[in-house]
Every structure is written in structure tokens, then in C-alpha cells.
Amino acid sequence: MTSPTHVAIIMDGNGRWAKSRGLPRVAGHRAGVEALRNLVRAMPDFGISVLTVYAFSSENWSRPKSEVTDLMGLLKLFIRRDLAELHRNGVRVRIIGDRATLQPDIGGLLEEAENLTRENTNLTLVIAFNYGSRDEIVRAARKLAEAAVRGEILPQQIEMDDITRSLDTADIPDPDLVIRTSGELRLSNFLLWQAAYSELVFVPCYWPDFGSDHLAEALRDYAGRERRFGGLSPEEAVAPAIVR
Ligand code: FPP
């Protein structure tokens, strides 16, 4: 199997990483940003075209206000500090998630990052921020319903592709591989539509400890998988069918 085009990561375990060191949770998130920075710098070694990271979920608003403020602040800091380097390295930044409910200054920064890096082709870094898959699907359904009300599409004409094109990820290929750190075994409302046939790899270490070696191991695991997309393996496909 070839290497994946698109790897998506649920960066989990920042809080537990901090707790295990007797540090406040924000220290875990800061270390998480550092781990992300290092991984993006190492991406040219891996031949991956798209890296998506889950930075803030639409459910994360229910965390204490101070932690929400810390996470917003870290995103702003990340964009301000790292944008020039990302641009220099040919990284195209894309943001998915609901922008409408974000503070205008954050919305502006996200737009600036996307506009500046729009033409870059070395790597697409997709940051899922204020993102929830169900929310994204609801927003896509609304867009299609509005198009139907305007008479631009008939309800019976709506196909899977129309939904795919109405999602925040419209022009981004589906993830081939989804990695989750910290040993939790779930998708937590991340890319539910897009990950229908993704391979899943769960890594026990906390996100701040995740590095190139862990990614290389996840890619080896992926390389050993057989992707069938609901079909048969090549051997089974050519074997004579058993007629009962
Ligand atoms: C999960 O750890 C992680 C998050 C909710 C946020 C991930 C965010 C970062 C890595 C930093 C922000 C990223 C950018 C791009 C600025 P958790 O807090 O749920 O950990 P726990 O399960 O151990 O409590």
C-alpha cells in the first residue's frame, strides 16, 4: 500500500500530560502546540499532502471559561508566530469549522492565514477549529435546503456528492488515515462523513509526546492495512463465486 495522501489527527491528552507533571492544563495545550509545530516541520520527510488537526471542537465550549480563553489565545499566538514560517515552507493553511460564532479578531486572523498561503502547494495544513462533524453536516444540509428554496436544485436530485461539496472540506480529499493519541478509542465528532473509509490508528501516548517516530509507526501500521472501501480484496474479487 502506498503512503496516505491525507492524515488527520485527533490531538488528545494535553490535560493528562500536564496533570502527570503537576502542571496546569494550559501547559499541556502549550506543549501540544509545540508538538504540532515540530510535526509540521517534519512533514516533508513523509510525503503527505494534507494534514488535518482537531484543535478545538464545537463541544469544547463547555470547558471552563479560562481554558476556552487559553485555547483561543493559543490559536491566535500560533497564527501570529508561525504564519510567516508556514508560508516560507510552502504550507497552505485551511480552517474548517463554524466561523460565524468566533470572535471577529480570530475570524480575521484565520482569513489572513488562508489568504496569504492560498497558492502554496507543499502541504495543506487543515486546522479544525470550532469544528464538529454533526454541526458541519447540519450547515451543509441548510445550504442545500436554501438552494432548493431558491429553485437551484430539486430535493430528489440531491446526491452524496452534493453533500460532500457543501461541507467545509469541499475541496479536500477524504482522510486516508485518522490517528488519535492518548489511548481513547473514538472519533468524537471528527470528520464523520469524510472518514467513512479511513483507516484508524490509536496511539497510547499523550499528544505533547507525539513526534515523527510515532507518525512513522502509524504509517507502517497503515501500510499493512488492506483498504477495500466496501468491496472485496483483489484475491477474493477474482476467485470463482460459490453458487449455492
Ligand atoms: C485534547 O486534549 C486537546 C484539545 C482539546 C485541544 C488541542 C489543542 C492543541 C494541541 C493546541 C491548540 C492548537 C492550535 C493549532 C493552536 P484534552 O485537553 O482533551 O486532554 P485530556 O483528555 O487529557 O484532558
The mean pLDDT values, 10 residues at a time, for the chain of 244 residues are 90 98 98 98 95 96 97 96 98 97 94 98 98 98 98 97 98 98 98 98 98 98 91 72 52
Phi, psi of 77 (to 5 degrees): -60, -40
Cα of 119 to ligand 1 centre, how many Å? 29
Residue-number span of the structural domain to which 122 is assigned: 6-132+174-225
Neighbours of 186 (CB within 10 A): 11
Neighbours of 208 (CB within 10 A): 24
Is the pTM above the cut of 0.85?
yes
Region for 189 from its dihedrals, namely left if φ exceeds 0, alpha if ψ lies in -120 to 50, beta otherwise = left
Cβ–Cβ < 8 Å for 131, 71? no
CA–CA distance from 40 to each of 33, 36, 55, 69, 174 (Å)?
Answer: 11, 6, 14, 24, 19
Does the C-beta of 36 come closer than 6 Å to ligand 1? Answer: yes
Q: Which residue, 122, 121, 99, is CA-closest to 110?
A: 99
Residue 150 lies in a domain: no
Residue 242 lies in a domain: no
Residue 157 lies in a domain: no
Residue 42 lies in a domain: yes
* 230/116 Cα distance (integer angstroms): 40
Residue 120 lies in a domain: yes
- 121 Cβ neighbours under 8 A, 6+ residues apart: 90, 92
Q: Which residue, 143, 72, 79, 138, is CA-closest to 111?
A: 79
Residues labelled as active-site residues: 12, 60
Residue 95 lies in a domain: yes
CA dihedral (147, 152, 154, 155) in degrees, to 10, reads -10
Give pLDDT, residue 209. Answer: 98
Does the C-beta of 16 come closer than 6 Å to ligand 1? Answer: yes
Please state the three-class secondary structure of the chain as a single string.
CCCCCEEEEECCCHHHHHHCCCCCHHHHHHHHHHHHHHHHHHHHHCCCCEEEEEEEECCHHHCCHHHHHHHHHHHHHHHHHHHHHHHHCCEEEEEECCCCCCCHHHHHHHHHHHHHHCCCCCEEEEEEEEECHHHHHHHHHHHHHHHHHCCCCCHHHCCHHHHHHHCCCCCCCCCCEEEECCCCCCCCCCCCCCCCCCEEEECCCCHHHCCHHHHHHHHHHHHCCCCCCCCCCHHHHHCCCCCC
Q: ∠16-19-20 over CA atoms, to 5°?
A: 85
Residue 232 lies in a domain: no
| Tally of domains in the chain | 1
Give pLDDT, residue 232. Answer: 82
Residue to mutate (ligand 1; options 19, 29, 109, 185; most atoms within 8 A of CB): 29
Residue 78 belongs to a domain with what CATH number? 3.40.1180.10
Look at ligand 1, atom 22, and give the residue with the nearest C-alpha: 13
Look at ligand 1, atom 5, and give the residue with the nearest C-alpha: 56
Residue 231 lies in a domain: no
Does the C-beta of 191 come closer than 6 Å to ligand 1? Answer: no
